[in-house]
Amino acid sequence: MNTAMALSVTGVTRRYDSGFTLDDVTFDLPAGYIMGLIGPNGAGKSTLIRLILNMIRRDAGEIHVFGLDNIADEERVKEGLGVVFDSNYFVETWTVNKVEKTMAPMYPAWDHAVFDGYLKRFGLERGGKVKELSRGMQMKLMLAVALSHDARLLILDEPTSGLDVLARDDLMDILQDYIADGNRSVIFSTHITADLERAADFITYITGGRLYYTGPKDEFTEAFRVVKGGPDELTADLAAAAVGVHRYETGFDVLVRAEDLNRIAGTTGVDGLDEFRTPAIEPASIDDIIRLTNARVGVDGTNRGSEAA
């Protein structure tokens, strides 16, 4: 066990009666970094976060937070965690002041001045009731609580979903400042990949309950290319190498591993990139990778749509 790891998830499995299984997920988040947890809806991101928080029982595996078992040492682990969910978890009739009075005794390291500072920064009034706050302001209140007890690991489940672009920018700044001392870490799930481009050092990508990738963000996008072409340019070589295909009336997008490009006839260029020829080869964005690695049937029932290989 590496104590320099903020979070170590090893072989974690959770089976649901519905048939969905989060299957054998393993990844590490080193201290001092931000990890983005990505995947389509229903991929298992929230399940994974709830497992880390011991909110649901796991069927196999281990989870360590700063070297401590998340179940055996639950209280010590949670004293060092800051948590933000995609929607409010406080009693709605509480005021902001009552939220502090409730949460402060929970944490030995609660800092009233820090909380107060975040309230001012976020424009939250102490007398305001939780139910009267907008979704974005409720998220900021959860964030203020998460940041006011010297948490060493922030866990954020879709924190930006209710925020406008300015608030998202502000949040990303806060997260960057938060990890600046090199001892604190952040893991956050999101659908908004622009946030990842800006803030994340690592990516963990889950799809269909399975871990698809975990590692540095840059390596993730560098590992793939998107090949785009007309309807009759999807060769057998290309189809065989495709990680995912999206067909449409005027052509296709194919996701391939960068290392496989030289095995595909007619796809050469500097670093495998050549967007001025057909089929064109372009860098893959995180959205491209998620889109093309998830099977989806066309709405008209034809073979148009995405096919994950």
Give CA–CA dist 47/108, Å, rounded: 28
Give CA–CA dist 196/217, Å, rounded: 8
CB nearer to other proteins: give 66 or 224: 66
Give CA–CA dist 226/209, Å, rounded: 24
CB nearer to other proteins: give 107 or 224: 107
CB nearer to other proteins: give 91 or 180: 91
Cβ count within 10 A of residue 234: 18
Is residue 50 near other proteins by the rule CB under 8 A?
Answer: yes
| Residue 266, burial from CB neighbour count under 10 angstroms (0-12, 13-18, 19+) | middle
Which range, of 75-83, 201-209, 244-252, 286-294, touches other proteins by CB under 8 A?
Answer: 75-83
CB nearer to other proteins: give 102 or 183: 102
Is residue 76 near other proteins by the rule CB under 8 A?
Answer: yes
User: Taking the complex as a whole, how short is the minimal distance between the CB of residue 85 and other proteins, in angstroms?
Assistant: 6
CB nearer to other proteins: give 88 or 189: 88
Q: How many residues bind other proteins (CB under 8 A)?
A: 29
Secondary structure of residue 228 in the 3-state scheme: strand
Is residue 75 near other proteins by the rule CB under 8 A?
Answer: yes
User: Taking the complex as a whole, how short is the minimal distance between the CB of residue 120 and other proteins, in angstroms?
Assistant: 24
Quick note: the x/- pattern for other proteins over 90-119, rule CB under 8 A, is: xxxxx---x--xx--xxx------------
- Alpha carbon 111 to its chain centroid, in Å, reads 28
Is residue 188 near other proteins by the rule CB under 8 A?
Answer: no
Is residue 55 near other proteins by the rule CB under 8 A?
Answer: yes
Cα angle, residue 131 at apex, residues 94 and 110 outer, rounded to 5°: 45
Are 111 and 150 in contact by the 8 Å Cβ rule? The answer is yes
Are 28 and 193 in contact by the 8 Å Cβ rule? The answer is no
Give CA–CA dist 35/211, Å, rounded: 14
Is residue 17 near other proteins by the rule CB under 8 A?
Answer: no
Are 209 and 51 in contact by the 8 Å Cβ rule? The answer is no
CB nearer to other proteins: give 92 or 173: 92
Residues at the interface with other proteins (CB under 8 A):
50, 53-57, 74-79, 81, 83, 85, 87-94, 98, 101-102, 105-107
